[in-house]
Amino acid sequence: MLHISTLHYLVLGAALFLLGVIGVLTRRNVVIVLMSIELILNAVNLNLVAFSRYWQGIHGPTALHGQVFAIFVITDAAAEAAVGLGILIAFFRNKETVNIDEVNLLKW
């Protein structure tokens, strides 16, 4: 039976990360771009937790630094989503679009 090693998680994380990158680079809808950023953050989290488990294997079960980091990342993601969506609403109110190509002014 194939055992799932850390590498498998890393590959999964990498794939998610790539999907996120593609989303950020190619989509025009700001909401979806923000969601892609969430995807990237999740990919990072996955790596962190996987490494944390790897680390646990070496340093014993209390070595949970990766998980702590993952929690920080989730916190950060929440903050980022709130501010990002706030900006989006302000932007939408002014320009009535969510198209990222239109975000080309420093002030209005």
Partner 1 sequence: MTDPNSLSPLDLDTPDKTFLDANELVINMGPQHPATHGVLRVILRLDGEKVLGLECVIGYLHRGVEKIAENRTYTMFNPYVDRMDYVAAVSNGLGYCEAVEKLLSVEAPPRAQYIRVILTELNRIASHQLWLGTHALDIGAITPLFYTFRDREEILKIFEKYCGARLTTHAFRIGGLQYETYDGFEKDVRNFVSFVKPKIDEYEELLTTNRIWLERTKGVGVISGKDCIALGVTGPVLRASGVKWDIRKALPYANYKNFEFEIPTGLNGDTYDRYLVRMVEMRQALRIIEQAVEGIPEGPIIAKVPKVMKPPVGEVYHSIEAPKGELGYFIVSDGSTQPYRIRVRPPSFVNLQALDLMCRGQLVADVIAVIGTLDIVLGEVDR
Partner 2 sequence: MIIGGILVITRKNAVHSAMALITTLLAQAGIYLMLYAPFVAGVQIILYAGGIMVLFLFVIMLISIERNMKERQFNKQWLVGIAAAAALGGLFIAVYTKGKSLFPEGRLNFDEAQNTQGVAALLYDQHQGMYMFSFEIASLLLLVAIIGAVVMAKKRI
| Residues near partner 1 (CB under 8 A) | 89, 92-93, 96
DSSP-derived secondary structure for 41-81: HHHHHHHHHHHHHHHHHHH-TT--HHHHHHHHHHHHHHHHH
Nearer to partner 1, 93 or 107 (CB): 93
Q: Which one of 44, 46, 59, 105 is in contact with partner 2 (CB under 8 A)?
A: 46
Rounded to the nearest 10 degrees, the angle between the axes of helix 30-59 and helix 6-26 is 160
Residue 94 binds partner 2 (CB under 8 A): no
| 54 in contact with partner 2 (CB under 8 A) | yes
Nearer to partner 1, 15 or 82 (CB): 82
